[in-house]
Structure 1
């Protein structure tokens, strides 16, 4: 069921909604940061055995993201207004991401933990609560799935909106996430018990 929030709905990404996702990435989502437009939120699904992420371009990432959506591997939430996506949150079980598998990954085990990886909010609607609405819906979705925890890795010192793509620390603190340590030298680790 979509969650109505003001004049937009928060809906899960499904294969039928892949066009909304692609429309955001191909359109206004990266209007102020076009050099990142080719990521298609594939980074954390990228298996290093396939090469180097930095060598993967939009021509490769777009069809790969379509395949991940079609098979149900790429999961998350879309903010939709007037038939177009204005926001996206990549959020799924931690162990569904290739980048978060292994014993050396900080935080709770992946089978019991949801992971917030990336936000994309169209520049024209930033600062209007879209990211918060997406995060609140993801938390509710993780509870519905019976997970025990949700984690995220906000940047320590994000230089501008583009570098805050994991979500700003304040957003998590405002929703009662605890700062529990470091995910990396550039990222905090925050966690919420579900």
Structure 2
């Protein structure tokens, strides 16, 4: 297996499904829709309806980025304009200013590929994707876990240290907490490399 990781826009349905879809067709798993669409719509969809909805979204364009190793999808990052997500109205994660920022809110690496730098590549890929699409800045809302262990299920928000290593800087505290860890608002100015 190659150690090279390539990050590309998430446009292939089967590859997106491999990272955020269910193992069983009738399962009502996230599909990374929780922050992308209003809660009422998200909570109403069940089973295969969720996958069909994602397929329709993909027809409009990428939903983020995927990391590949040897053409196999091994990682996912959800990236979109904040105004197009539920973060636009989220009371726990504040708006810093009126800049039309983008958000990266989910980092997922397939089991068997963790601890190999894929999340770092995904964050860099999210930065490049947002920049290429004209975003002036990219926000993240990771866990501020310090040295504490984080449950893998709740680590989807990413870890503060990983985002800071990619050039993100503190912009605000939040009142959001996941798995006992506070989340912070970090921002990467995309006018800067």
Normalising by the residue count of structure 1, what TM-score does the alignment of the two structures yield?
A: 0.78
Q: CA, structure 1 residues 49+141, in 2 after alignment: closer, same or farther (shift >3 Å)?
A: same
Write 1 or 2 for the structure with the bigger share of helix: 1
Q: CA, structure 1 residues 58+38, in 2 after alignment: closer, same or farther (shift >3 Å)?
A: farther
Partner of residue 59 from structure 2, selected from 63, 70, 80 = 70
Q: Spell out the pairing of 1:100-111 with structure 2 (5 A cutoff).
A: 100-102=87-89, 106-108=94-96
Contact kept, 8 Å, 1:11 with 1:79, in 2: the verdict is yes
Partner residue of 1:168? Answer: 159
Partner of residue 136 from structure 1, selected from 88, 112, 124 = 124
Unaligned stretches of 5+ residues in structure 2: 178-182
Contact kept, 8 Å, 1:91 with 1:138, in 2: the verdict is yes
- Are residues 1:84 and 2:65 paired? no
Normalising by the residue count of structure 2, what TM-score does the alignment of the two structures yield?
A: 0.78
> How far apart are the structure 1 equivalents of 2:90 and 2:142?
21
The runs of at least 4 aligned residues of structure 1 exceeding 6 Å deviation read none
Alpha-carbon shift at residue 59 of structure 1 (Å) = 3.1
> How far apart are the structure 1 equivalents of 2:97 and 2:55?
27
Task: Describe the SS at the equivalent of 1:125.
Answer: coil
Task: Describe the SS at the equivalent of 1:123.
Answer: coil
Contact kept, 8 Å, 2:65 with 2:122, in 1: the verdict is yes
Contact kept, 8 Å, 2:171 with 2:186, in 1: the verdict is yes
- Are residues 1:126 and 2:95 paired? no
Unaligned stretches of 5+ residues in structure 1: 29-35
- Are residues 1:46 and 2:37 paired? yes
Alpha-carbon shift at residue 125 of structure 1 (Å) = 0.8
Partner of residue 153 from structure 1, selected from 134, 141, 152 = 141
Partner residue of 1:32? Answer: none
- Are residues 1:23 and 2:14 paired? no
